[in-house]
Structure formats: C-alpha cells, structure tokens
Amino acid sequence: MRVKRLVAAFLACVLLAVPSALAADAGRRYDFTLRVNGGGTATVQLGDTVTVTVALTQRGADSITLYALQDRIIYNTAFFQLVEGSLTVKDAATGIARGTQQMAGTWAGWTGVYSNALSVNPEGDIWENPTTLVTFQLKTIRAGTSVLLHREHVMSTTTGLDEYESAATDATVIIKDSSAASFSDVQEGAWYYDAVRYVTDRGLFDAKSATAFGADDPMTRAMLVVALYRLEGSPDVENSVFTDIVKDTELSRAAAWAHAAGIVQGVGDNRFDPAASITREQTAAMFYRRAAYKKADLSAKGDLTVFTDNAKISAWARDALAWANGAKLVNGMGDGTVNPQGTSNRAQVAQVFYNFSK
C-alpha cells in the first residue's frame, strides 16, 4: 500500500481541513523496529504469551517529528492468538486508527495489526526519540517457528503526498513444546527419540495425533517440503504454480519457495504429487539441493560402494546420496544396504533433520 492510501478512511475528512505540511525534508529518515520480548528472536514454550512492540526512531535527530504514518504487523493465526485488550498505540495530536484485519488471498490465515496516525500541526507533532509506537501481546497456540512480518510502514507529510525514507524489521518466535516427544510410538531410548523432539519442538513436523507421532508412517513430498519451508522460517512468497496444490495454503507457499530455490521439481504437467511417498534417495537429493541453496559445504563424500545394493542408486541421485552419507545425514540400513528406492519414514527423516542441525 503506497502513500496515497496512507491514512485510514476515518482520517480522510481531517486531511481536507489540514493546512499543507511543510515541504518534505529529503534527508529525513525513520526506522520501525519490531521486537518480540525485547529482541529480534524469542524462544518460548507453547502456551506462553509474547509481547510485541514497534519502536519508531528518527535517524540523526534529538526528537521525532511526526506528520502522518502507517504501519502493519502480520502474524500467522495458526501460531498466535491476539490477547484481547492488549493492543495499544501511541496517540497523535488529531487521532489514530488502530485494530486488526483478517488477511486474504496469499495471506489467508494471517492477521494484520495496523495503525495509522495523523497530526493536524503543519510542523508536525514532536515525540521522544525513539518512541514506542505499538504494543500488543500474542498467546502461542502451536509449536514451531513463525515470523512476525513488518509491512506497509510509511512516514509522510500531513497531506500524504510526500514520503520520507523508512525501514522496518521482522521478528522470529520459536515456540517449543516440552511434551512433544511424549508419544505412544516414540519411546525414550529409541534411536530417533532426540530427533523427534527436535522436529516437534521446532514445529517442523506436525504430529499424527495428540498421542502419536507417526514414526513408521511414510514421509510424503508435502510433509518434507513443508518441513524445509518451516526450517527456512516460512518466508513471504506467492502461491505455487502446481495445479494439484490448493492455493493460499502453507503447502502452496512451501512448494513455491522450494521450487524457486531449486530444491524441488514437479512430476510433470505442472503437478507436484504432494501425497506421494518420498524415497531415501529423493530425501537425500532434497537436502543436497537445500544445502546448495544455502551455499553450505558440499565436499563431504561417502563411499557408496560399501553398500551391497549401490547399483540400485539412480544416476541422478548418486552425488546427493554420497554427500548425505559422507555428511552423516543418511546411513545404511544395518544389513549392508542403503535401500535407495525404499520409502523414507517419518522417524528417518526426522533423524536427517536432527543430523543436519549439528
């Protein structure tokens, strides 16, 4: 949303009565700094409440001169619930619009916390520098990692026709569930116990149910691409081009990000085949491409000839599987085979994520 749409509708009539502001100072700079629990990243337990603040700073000035502003913080309602009555916004001389708005389209399932302010003083309101512009609280309702996005931040003259330079920051919340590995199919001492705790604490995997992780269930293409997307911090992307994925969903954004990053490809005819199980060599290939995307070290190389079924490894997957084996992400099956064409189960892929984090 650009400057001409800067001020909320309830301020439109005020603008008509306000004298023109002084000419915009081309050297004026503003920063909107988003913080959660006082920092750029917060790690909390599921059910905790986090405090979100936006501090406004005018660079190189003793005080802030406010004419008109707009700001919006967008949060994922799958992870957070706004604490009723917690939203406060600093007042301006004339007034301020504030509230929440359900997002649509690509942002379906997200909520925007917005604020618009306007000064009737042609020379602007004078605020302390920096000043806290917005404060609200969010209760965490799902384990995982979610980014609070800072969008549509604008500083302008009272007429809304000139825009000052401004910058904004995002913030990340890591929500852990200390009981996430207490599943009937994940016994303490199992080789994948720590891995399951790792992927559930960080919200990379969803549990099969409240009491089961689904350790032996096949890993699907959809599950893996969403887990990688969450590992990346669920970046802001458009919908995917794949025709067999529902638009405006997390899977659609995950597939779009992974496809653009070169991590996944379709199966032809603009299809992704999200429900298909993923093989062990396909799993290695996706992690290999993800490492390449992150410009990680790809020099590790395991000796695949030690596996009795190494001839079954697809030609396109040999480099990826050699790297994954050398990097100790994918090991043998314990019977002398690597089982490249076998289906990866959720416990195995959780272990790959856990090994990848070390």
For 86-122, write each residue's pLDDT tens digit. Answer: 988 776 555 666 788 888 776 788 999 988 887 777 7
Nearest to 166 by CA among 22, 53, 70, 63: 70
Alpha helices by DSSP H, listed for the chain, are 12-17, 193-201, 221-231, 250-260, 280-293, 318-326, 346-357
- Kindly list the distances between the CA atom of residue 82 and the CA atoms of 111, 179, 219, 248, 290, in Å, as whole numbers in the listed order: 9, 24, 33, 22, 34
The answer to whether the beta carbons of residues 70 and 1 sit under 8 Å apart is: yes
HSE-CB at 182 with a 13 A cutoff on CA atoms is 4
Q: Taking a C-beta distance cutoff of 8 angstroms, is the pair 219, 277 a contact?
A: yes
Tell me the residue type at 195. A
Whether 179 has a pLDDT exceeding 70, the answer reads no
Sort residue 144 into left (φ over 0), alpha (ψ -120 to 50) or beta: left
Give residue 154's pLDDT. Answer: 84
Band the pLDDT of 153: cuts 50, 70, 90.
Answer: confident
CA angle 328, 329, 331 (to 5 degrees): 70
CA 326, CA 336: separation in Å to the nearest integer? 16
Whole-number CA gyration radius for the chain: 25
Residue type, 255: A
> Please, what CATH class does the domain formed by 3-175 belong to?
mainly beta
> Residue 141 has which token pair?
């309702």
Q: Where in the chain is the domain with CATH 2.60.40.680?
A: 3-175
pLDDT band at 23 (very low <50, low <70, confident <90, very high): very low
pLDDT confidence band for 24 (50 / 70 / 90): very low
- At 84 the three-state DSSP class reads coil
- The string of pLDDT tens digits covering residues 40-68 is 999 898 889 999 999 999 888 899 888 88
Share of the chain above pLDDT 70, in %: 87
In sequence order, the 6+-apart residues with CB closer than 8 A to the CB of 12 are none
pLDDT score of 207: 87
pLDDT reported for residue 350: 96
Give CA–CA dist 202/115, Å, rounded.
31
More confident residue, 32 or 1: 32
- pLDDT score of 348 more than 90: yes
